Chains A and B, each alone.
Chain A
C-alpha cells in the first residue's frame, strides 16, 4: 500500500536540509520577485539590497551546513551531494555574485536599464551554479546547467531592453543570441552524452556509474564503446560552458557584447559550474575508464590536449586584442586552460585529491582577480560604452592612482606573480601536474604564463609608464563598484600573502 509521505517525513527522508544554501537562495529569489513587484520605482534599490541579503543568508547557511567534520551527505535520493567540494564552491559562487551585484547597480543606472528583474535573474543563475556544484547525477547536472545558463542568456542581452538602436544595444542583443544558440547546442551534446553513458552503464547516478563502468570498460563490447563516446560528448558539452579550446569560439563576442557586470559574472560562475561538473563526471564517475591495465583513464590524454590548445591559443590571441573586455575574454580562456591542467592531473591515481584541491584554489584566486579586473574596466568605461580600449587607460596612474594600483595588482595576480592569489593558484596547479608526471604540460603552462605576462604588463605599461596626451576623462560617479573592487583586491592580496589560508580551506576536499 502506497502512502503519501508527510512533509516532515519527506524532509527527513530526502535530506533536503543539506542542500539548504542553494534551495534557500532559490526560495529567496522567488520572494524577490514579489519584493520587486511591490517596491515600485521610488524604492528600486530594495531589490539589490534584498538580493544581497539573500546571498549573505545563503553564505551563512553554507557555513552552517558544511561543517567540514560532517563528511558527505546525499540529498534528494542521490540527486545532490553535500561535501566539502560543494561547500567551498558555494562560497566562491556567493562571493562572486555579491561582487557582481555591487558592480551591477552602478552599471544599470549609468546605462539607463535599471530593472529589478536583473537581480532576480542573477540570483537564479547563481542558484543554478550552486546546484551544479552539488549535482551527483547526470540529470541533475543537466537541469542545474540550464538553470545556470538560461538566466545568463537573458542577462547577456539585457542592455538591449533599452531599444535605442545604439551600437551597444545591438551588440548586447547579438551577445545574448549567440550565447543562447551555442549554449543550447552544447546542452544537446551534454544530454546526448549522458544518454550514451546511461545506455552503457544503466544509470545516470554518478556513484552507480562508477560501479557499472568498472565492469563495462576493457572489453571490446558495444557498451564500452558507448561509454567512451558518451564521455567524449560530455567533455564537449561541458567544454563549451567553461570555454576551452576548441569550444571557445563564442567567448570573445559574448563577453564583449554583454553588459560588463554580466560578463564578469559569467566568466566566473559559468566556469565554476562547468568545471565542478567536469571534475565530478571525469574524476568521480569515470576515473575507472582505463582502457589498458595500468594506464591513466582514457580522458586524461584528451584533457591534456585540450589544456595545451587552450593555454596556447588563449594566451597568444590575447596579445592581439585592443579592447580590454576582449583581452580579458581571451585571458579567461587561458585561465580555463590552467584549470584544465589540474583536471588532467586528476587523471593520475594518487594525485586526484591534490589536483582537485589545486583546481579549487585556482578557481578561488581567479574569481577574485577576474572580477576585480572587470570591475576596473567597468569603472573606466564611458556611458556610451567607449573608453574600454587599452589605449584609453593611458596615464591612469596619474588621474586615478588608486584604481591603477588595484588594476596593477589584478594584472600581477593574473600573471601569477608571488604575493598575489594568482601565484598560489598557479603554484598549486603546477605542483599537481608535476606530481602527476605531466612535465610537458607543466612546462607549456609556465611558458605560456610568460606570454600572458606580456599582455598583462602592457596594461600596466599604459597606466604607469606612459602619460596620457588627452585630458583625463571625468570620472563617473560609481560608489558601489568601488566596494566591488575593494572586496576583490582584499581577496587577491589576503589569499596571496597568507598562502596557507586557501590551502587549508580546501584541505578536506576529496571527490574520488
Chain B
C-alpha cells in the first residue's frame, strides 16, 4: 500500500529542479547577471521549505515523518516481483542533514558571487545548473528510503561535482576530477551488487515499513529464525567466530555498503582522492564537498550499515573505529605538514571525519548523537574555512601560507570571523565543534565495543587540531603584511561575503551554546538505532 499524498519532503526535494529548469530556459549571454540570482533565490526558497519541514517535524516520534511512497516500478526477479518505490520521509537524522544541505547551499552560491572563475572559463549558466542538480541529488540521498532510488541519487551527485571540479577548478583540475569520479564510482558500484542482493533476499527495496509493507530493516530486526536474517545458518552470529568476518553473507554485504561510504567519507586509507578534489575545486565546490557531500558517507553508514547489518557492525566496529582514530591522527599530522592552506583545510576534514566514524562505531546513543551533530558542525566550520581560503585566493591569488601574513591588521573584521571559525573547527568550548567532539569522546568512553585507548588517541586529535589550525591562523593572519594589494578597496569585505559569514557565525554559537535544540531533534531516532546494540 502506498502513502501517496504530496508530502513536504517531496516539495523541498524538487524545488532545486524547478530552479534548474528556470536556469535552463534562460539565455546564458543576455541574462548573465540574473543567473546567480535565480540560483540563489532557489536555494533560499529551498532552505525556507526545509525550515517549514522542521516546524512540522515532531521530534518525539520514532516514525518517519512527512512520508510519501509511490510504487514506481516492478522488477520481476525470477519468480518474485520486487517493488521499487519513490519513498521519501525524514527522521531526526535526515531532518538535520536536510537542514545542513539547504543551509550550506545559499552560502556556497554567495561564495561564487565574487569569483573570477567565470571571466576565465565562462559558462556561468552551466555552473549554476550543476549546483542545482547537485542540491537535488544531495537532498535525495538524505530523504530517500528505497535502496535503488538511493543509489540513483548517490551516483547522480558524481556528475555535477565532476564537472564543477573539472571545468572551473584550478590547474590540475582534470586529474582531480577524473580521480574523484573513478575513485568514488569504484566504491559505489560494488554497493549496487549488495543492494541487489538485499532486495532479492528481502523481496523489497524499501528500507522502512510504510503503509503495511514491511521494510528491510524491520525484517532484519524481527528475524525469528536461526542465526541472522542474512545467514540463516551462520555458525555464530555475534562475531566471535573469526570466519564470520570474511565468510558470512552479512559481513560481505556490510563491506559492500561500507566501502562505498568509506570512500566518500573518506575513512583512512581511502582518502587519497580528497586532497586533490578539494584543492582543485572552485570555492563553492569545496564548500559543498566538505559541507555536505562527505556527510553522505557517514549518513549512509548510520542509515544502512548499522540498521541492516547489526551483527556485522558489531563484529567490524573495533576495526573501523580504529581506522577512524588513525584518520584523526594521520589527518591532523599531515595537515600540520602542509604549506598550502587549502590542502591544510582539506586534510583537516580527514581528521574531523575520523571523529564522526569513531562516534558512529561507539554504537551507543551518545556516540551516534555526537557523530550526527559533528557532521553538521564539520559542514559549517570546514565549509566556512573553505570560504575563507577562497576569499584569500580571490584577493592574493596564492594558496601558499608563506605568502600571507598580517591580514588581521588590514582586515580586522575578516580576521575576527576567521578566528571564530577556526576556533569552532578546533573545538573550543562554547562553540559548535566542542559539543560534537566532546559527545563523541564521551560516547567512545562508554562504549561496550571500544576500549579506553580509542578515547585516549581520539582526544589527542583535539590537541593536534588546535596545533595545525593555530599554525594556519598565525601564518596567515598575524605578523607583518607580506604582500599588500594594489587596490585598497579589496581590503573591505563585500556585502555578499558578509552575508555568507553571518549565518555561519550564528550557527557556530547557536549549536555551541544551545545544543539541546539539536540533540532533541536526534534523540528518538538515534535511540532506536542504539537500541540494536545494547548488549
Contact = CB atoms under 8 A, between A and B. Distances in A.
Given A350-B79, A432-B77, A500-B74, A447 B189 contact: yes
B196 A461 contact: no
B192 A430 contact: yes
Interface stretch (A18-26, A178-186, A411-419, A473-481): A411-419
A453 B166 contact: no
Given A435-B77, A465-B174, A465-B177, A450 B192 contact: no
Interface string A500-511: 100100010000
B167 A354 contact: no
A449 B189 contact: yes
Contact of A418 (B75, B151, B174): B151
Interface in A426-469: 427-428, 430-432, 434-435, 439, 442-443, 446-447, 449-450, 453-454, 457-458, 461, 464-466
B69 to A, nearest CB: 15
A351 interface: yes
Nearest to B153: A418
Contacts of B123: 397
B37 interface: no
B163 A464 contact: yes
Interface string B126-159: 0000000000000000000000100111011011
A13 B380 CA distance: 77
Interface string B50-72: 00000000000000000000001
B189 A465 contact: no
Contacts of B74: 500, 503, 507
B260 to A, nearest CB: 11
A225 interface: no
A296 to B, nearest CB: 14
A357 interface: yes
Contacts of A500: 72-74
B76 A354 contact: yes
A466 B152 contact: no
Given A434-B197, A446-B192, A419 B156 contact: yes
B77 A464 contact: no
Given A354-B77, A461-B166, A499-B84, A435 B200 contact: yes
B78 A350 contact: yes
Contact of A434 (B148, B158, B189, B196): B196
A450 B186 contact: yes
A351 B84 contact: no
A431 B75 CA distance: 9
A417 to B, nearest CB: 6
Nearest to B152: A418
A357 B197 CA distance: 19
A435 B181 contact: no
Nearest to A454: B182
Contact of A457 (B181, B192, B197): B181
Dominant secondary structure of chain A at its interface with chain B: helix
A417 B160 CA distance: 12
A173 interface: no
B276 to A, nearest CB: 14
A351 B75 CA distance: 12
Contacts of B478: none
A353 interface: yes
Contacts of B72: 499-500
Interface string B168-206: 000001100110011001100110110011011000000
Contact of B190 (A353, A354, A446, A457): A446
Nearest to B123: A397
Given A430-B192, A435-B200, A499 B73 contact: yes
A316 to B, nearest CB: 14
Interface residues of A, number: 37
A464 B166 contact: yes
B148 A427 contact: yes
Given A453-B181, A461-B177, A417 B73 contact: no
A95 to B, nearest CB: 22
Contacts of A507: 74, 76
B24 to A, nearest CB: 11
B73 A453 contact: no
B524 to A, nearest CB: 32
A430 B196 contact: yes
Contacts of B155: 417-418, 423
Contact of B192 (A427, A458, A499, A503): A427
Contact of B156 (A417, A443, A447, A465): A417
Interface in A14-55: none
Contacts of A458: 178
Interface in A483-512: 499-500, 503, 507
B327 to A, nearest CB: 24
A354 B81 CA distance: 10
B182 A453 contact: yes
A159 B132 CA distance: 47
Q: Which of B76, B159, B197 has the most CB of A within 10 A?
A: B76
A19 B197 CA distance: 40
B156 A457 contact: no
A185 B123 CA distance: 53
B178 A443 contact: no
A416 B76 CA distance: 20
A447 B190 CA distance: 8
A447 B196 CA distance: 15
A75 to B, nearest CB: 28
A450 B76 contact: no
Contacts of B193: 430, 434, 439, 442-443, 446
Q: Which of A351, A431, A449, A461 has the most CB of B within 10 A?
A: A431
Given A432-B77, A461-B174, A503-B74, A447 B166 contact: no
B87 to A, nearest CB: 14
Given A412-B159, A499-B84, A457 B178 contact: yes
A158 B197 CA distance: 49
A357 B75 CA distance: 10
Contacts of A427: 148, 192, 196
A461 B173 CA distance: 10
A357 B76 contact: yes
Interface in A293-309: none
Given A446-B190, A499-B84, A428 B159 contact: no
Contacts of B192: 427, 430, 446
Given A434-B197, A465-B174, A466-B174, A417 B159 contact: yes
B341 to A, nearest CB: 25
Q: Which of A412, A435, A454, A458 has the most CB of B within 10 A?
A: A435
A32 to B, nearest CB: 40
Contacts of B78: 350-351, 353-354, 435
Interface in A185-243: none
A94 to B, nearest CB: 25
Contacts of B163: 464
Contacts of A457: 162, 178, 181-182
A153 B75 CA distance: 39
Contacts of B153: 418
B427 to A, nearest CB: 38
A461 B182 CA distance: 13
Contacts of A465: 166-167, 173-174, 177
A419 to B, nearest CB: 6
Contact of A464 (B73, B167, B190, B196): B167
Nearest 6 Cβ contacts at the A-B interface: A500-B73, A418-B152, A446-B189, A465-B166, A434-B196, A350-B78
Interface of B: 72-79, 84, 123, 148, 151-153, 155-156, 158-159, 162-163, 166-167, 173-174, 177-178, 181-182, 185-186, 189-190, 192-193, 196-197, 199-200
15 contacts: A353-B76, A354-B78, A417-B158, A417-B159, A428-B75, A430-B192, A432-B77, A443-B190, A446-B189, A447-B189, A453-B181, A453-B185, A454-B182, A457-B182, A503-B75
Given A428-B75, A449-B189, 5 more contacts: A419-B152, A450-B182, A465-B173, A465-B177, A500-B74
